[in-house]
Structure 1
């Protein structure tokens, strides 16, 4: 049976490079620039703290077997100077790569481990983009960094479509300019996804947008007026509603719990 999540997304070669790119941006900031507004009430400092929290939480759980709830990490990190926070980020660099390269990312599970790694990469990449925009730095927008993020967000769709009953072979298409095309296919036991254009000339539903709009839409930072102009969804109403659910971080919430 074809895996519903589709073929593996290999972000392992990108993890350290993405981390180093973030360190490079933060190293150029003067202390007052860490207080620049970035996302809602969050500053550059808050976003950097969130990145660090994601990494340390993953290391604590998956490397050290430590599971615990706590108070707001970002709020607590506001007590740290930019210099201390930066040093902690530098110290964490490469640790996740070391963790994952010694694990079997294809190990059978409800959701494969490679998807967990890809999801973490996607979330951290989005946060870096938001930091870069707040700091007026160039985006880390090369296709090699951005396309796996688009791919990861779309991998939530087989699970999102599980309640949609369709004849085996019916297709849903997703075209993201600057990233590629994806096709979801109905099977007797659910939906699968794969890279490539659809074979059907009459898909059940379709989504068309561009890569820049897509990641912003999925992370909940694309204004509604822009979303209506830059993200086109058409076809079966029930499927269209699910496709629109990708917006506003809906794609992240549909993966299995981390």
Structure 2
């Protein structure tokens, strides 16, 4: 991927090499499930393995319909908050897909395999598109939206594997996850008042280090350790804890290490990479 213009979200992420491989691993898994496997409950409250697979289908066809085909999707009802709107349409889709057999669901997933990759590959990822809501309200670079897409697929794939008590998804598929979710850091810090130049650090062990720096118009993200010897606050955790915290799959902070301003650390631990 060519160098892209710097933004407050830090350097670009290239997730295109991951889409097809993750999708193929998921379909290999789903294609071998028994009837009992499809009905197992997942960590998504009220959703079975089949429901999560149907949700993934909805993510894929929704992206293609809106982005590739220019289809005008539903909008929130008058007075309906955006997170509530997303929860509602997701649930409506999953409930409707319960009418489908697993064979029909698998056929539809196979039909759309590869099309998400093709969609993102033909776009100028340097350009700005719509917002990535958990990273801010303003237009975001398309590479961030693509990374958001991939992270969504990865999280639900992991949830399915855990519900099945299956072997974990190979580590290579998780390579962009921490780097994607940490792009929510500037938005998380938006209400933290600090003087220009102050820095906040975030480390995900084995994955990387990032820091946010306060500038006149807000916080800006970059990779690496904070250049300052005395950052305002730092958080260190492992990838498993990090992605679960960011997606609200856990509230436990066991294994999380913090230094510096306690209020800022507490704010850092509210970081989310889903619509809530």
Aligned to 1:136: 165
Where do 1:223-234 residues align within 5 Å? 224=251, 227-234=252-259
Distance (whole Å) between structure 1 residues aligned to residue 102 and residue 258 of structure 2: 43
Check whether the contact 1:153–1:252 (CA below 8 A) recurs between aligned residues.
no
Aligned to 1:163: 191
Distance (whole Å) between structure 1 residues aligned to residue 274 and residue 184 of structure 2: 7
Are 2:204 and 1:187 aligned? no
Gaps of 5+ in 1: none
Where do 1:10-25 residues align within 5 Å? 10-25=14-29
Aligned to 1:89: 109
Distance (whole Å) between structure 2 residues aligned to residue 132 and residue 12 of structure 1: 23
Q: 1:33 aligns with which of 28, 31, 37?
A: 37
Where do 1:47-126 residues align within 5 Å? 47-69=52-74, 72-109=92-129, 110-126=139-155
Distance (whole Å) between structure 1 residues aligned to residue 154 and residue 73 of structure 2: 25
* Residues 42-96 of structure 1 deviation map (CA, whole Å, 9 limit, x = unaligned): 1100110011101111000001111222670001111111111111111111001
> For the structure 1 residues 220 and 141, does the alpha-carbon distance in structure 2 shift closer, same or farther, using more than 3 Å as the test?
farther
Q: 2:9 aligns with which of 5, 10, 20?
A: 5
Check whether the contact 1:46–1:74 (CA below 8 A) recurs between aligned residues.
yes
Deviation at 1:233, TM superposition (A): 3.5
CA RMSD, Structure 1 to Structure 2 (Å)? 1.8
* Residues 91-124 of structure 1 deviation map (CA, whole Å, 9 limit, x = unaligned): 1110011111111011035211111110011011
Are 2:174 and 1:146 aligned? yes
Runs of 4+ in 1 over 4 A off after TM superposition: none
Are 2:261 and 1:236 aligned? yes
Deviation at 1:239, TM superposition (A): 2.2
TM-score when scaled to structure 2? Answer: 0.84
Distance (whole Å) between structure 2 residues aligned to residue 189 and residue 238 of structure 1: 21
> Which secondary structure state, in structure 2, belongs to the residue aligned with residue 118 of structure 1?
helix
Aligned residues: 247
Distance (whole Å) between structure 2 residues aligned to residue 141 and residue 124 of structure 1: 14
Distance (whole Å) between structure 2 residues aligned to residue 240 and residue 80 of structure 1: 46
Gaps of 5+ in 2: 75-88, 130-138
Distance (whole Å) between structure 2 residues aligned to residue 241 and residue 253 of structure 1: 20
Deviation at 1:2, TM superposition (A): 4.6
